[in-house]
């Protein structure tokens, strides 16, 4: 081979060598990227399979159908919630505990959208003010041994025709009240026919609000009373450290305004702690005596006895059905509302947890309430109270709080100032109202069956 021929071959080979130098690293990077992508997808896939089985997500969910889960959860589901369930409203559902159950994924939820409801505080409109995940709106409560009736807003309004439904309690009670306003108004075509009777706007600082549903001549009302007993100035001559007192032997002074309601929903709990009482100079009073050494649990017990006595002596059980909703746990991690506690990373329920229910504060409150109820139910004249025992089910919903998204247009809030006690709407309080609806419908069926005007729900 001549030198000229070799030189020509070398010249022809040089471009190929250069291109090989260019492509070889690129192919290596591309291969590494593809392998990494496959690994990430695999982790997500298998992790989702675990989550799906844990939370009873349906294979037919449009949102996740591309994963093509083989889901053997039908068998698992029947083990968890019972393969044979009866309708709660049927006679065979009389023994069903609707508070014993699990959260299941349901694409037909939520029952309304916050943007379609004008009766919500900005603080509860999480999805409108920055919260992008909507998983928390798609969970439905499923009792283990029966099926709840689906909430029917028109039927509920018919049942409330010419009646008053009143919520009394703290801001979590207000959370539930606003939830019911949204649920009911979803069945009203003329929005202007639902209005606050005094023209007051929705605001957290109003003492009471009364919304009338004109077409049904009914009202759904809220009265702010965090303790259910009055907080007042201390008697003259009290110690300097006593700024206010809770009169444990007296019902809240506004009680005369709501004792004649047809349905009365009471709650208290979030303010019964050291931080919101003794630390702020709020002590406990019986008669004219301030009990400087009384602790919060004993004071709460005394207040619950006063509430039960008031129900027995002042409320007409032939007219008024009383519900008492139990404490809804908070979900602060790494602190509380004042010390940087957070919940903004929570997007899924914590199914089966009992840690918050068995915590000293929550567990003690439940015990005190149970003792007060049983003490009066053992008397000849039963106290007409139905307990909405939502503590355990709500303890599992660490994903349902506003976290950073409670300031409306001024948000999001700083990371160290989160709200992990109230609830986004639509959300968990809707379930509390669905349960109350089911119990009221059950009461109506029993009344029809017995042919009586009153049914005691003890």
Q: Which residues are catalytic?
A: 171, 419, 422
Contact present, 220 and 213 (Cβ < 8 Å) = yes
Q: Could you give the count of Cα atoms lying within 13 Å of 112 in the half-sphere of its Cβ?
A: 29
Report d(CA 108, CA 122) in Å as an integer. Answer: 25
In which residue are the tokens 């909507």 written? 134
CA 359 to chain centre: 18
Contact present, 353 and 396 (Cβ < 8 Å) = yes
Phi-psi region for residue 352, left (φ > 0), alpha (ψ -120 to 50) or beta?
left
DSSP letter (8 states) at residue 124:
G
Contact present, 220 and 156 (Cβ < 8 Å) = no
DSSP letter (8 states) at residue 183:
H
* Bridge partners for 342 per DSSP: 333
* Bridge partners for 223 per DSSP: 168, 208
Report d(CA 230, CA 252) in Å as an integer. Answer: 5
Query: What is the H or E stretch that residue 276 is in?
Result: none
Direct distance between the N- and C-terminal alpha carbons of the chain, in angstroms, rounded to an integer: 109
Contact present, 68 and 48 (Cβ < 8 Å) = no
Token couple for 438? 């089911």
């Amino acid at each position: 081979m001549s030198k000229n021929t070799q030189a020509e071959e070398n010249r022809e080979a040089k471009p190929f060598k250069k291109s090989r130098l260019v492509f070889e690293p690129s192919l290596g990077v591309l291969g590494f990227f593809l392998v990494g992508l496959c690994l990430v997808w695999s982790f997500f896939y298998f992790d989702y399979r675990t989550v799906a089985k844990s939370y009873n997500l349906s294979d037919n969910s449009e949102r996740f159908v591309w994963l093509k889960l083989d889901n053997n959860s039908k068998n698992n589901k029947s083990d968890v919630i019972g393969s044979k369930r009866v309708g709660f409203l049927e006679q065979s559902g009389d023994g069903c505990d609707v508070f014993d159950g699990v959260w299941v994924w349901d694409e037909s939820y939520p029952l309304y959208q916050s943007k379609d409801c004008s009766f919500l505080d900005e603080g509860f409109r999480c999805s409108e003010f920055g919260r992008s995940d909507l998983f928390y709106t798609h969970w439905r409560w499923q009792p283990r041994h029966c099926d709840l009736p689906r909430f029917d807003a028109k039927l509920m309004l018919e049942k409330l025709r010419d009646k008053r439904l009143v919520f009394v309690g703290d801001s979590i009670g207000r959370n539930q009240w606003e939830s019911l306003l949204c649920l009911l108004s979803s069945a009203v075509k003329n929005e202007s026919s639902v209005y606050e009777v005094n023209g007051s706007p929705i605001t957290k600082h109003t003492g009471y609000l009364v919304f009338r549903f004109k077409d049904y001549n009914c009202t759904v009302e809220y009265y702010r009373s965090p303790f259910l007993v009055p907080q007042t100035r201390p008697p003259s001559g009290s110690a300097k450290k006593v700024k206010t007192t809770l009169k444990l032997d007296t019902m809240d002074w506004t009680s005369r305004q709501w004792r004649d309601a047809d349905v009365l929903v009471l709650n208290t709990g979030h303010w019964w702690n050291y931080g919101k009482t003794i630390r702020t100079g709020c002590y406990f009073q019986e008669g004219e005596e301030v009990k400087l050494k009384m602790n919060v649990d004993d004071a709460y017990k005394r207040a619950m006895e006063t509430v039960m006595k008031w129900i027995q002596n002042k409320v007409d059980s032939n007219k008024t059905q009383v519900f008492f909703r139990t404490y809804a746990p908070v979900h602060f991690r790494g602190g509380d509302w004042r010390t940087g506690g957070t919940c903004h990373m929570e997007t899924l329920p914590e199914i089966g947890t009992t840690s918050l229910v068995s915590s000293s504060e929550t567990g003690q409150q439940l015990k005190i309430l149970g003792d007060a109820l049983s003490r009066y139910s053992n008397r000849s004249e039963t106290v007409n109270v139905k307990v909405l025992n939502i503590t355990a089910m709500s303890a599992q919903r660490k994903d349902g709080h506003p976290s950073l998204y409670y300031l409306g247009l001024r948000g999001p809030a700083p990371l160290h100032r989160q709200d992990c006690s109230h609830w986004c709407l639509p959300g968990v309080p809707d379930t509390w109202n669905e349960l109350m609806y089911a119990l009221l419908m059950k009461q109506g069926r029993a009344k029809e069956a017995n042919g009586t005007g009153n049914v005691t729900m003890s």
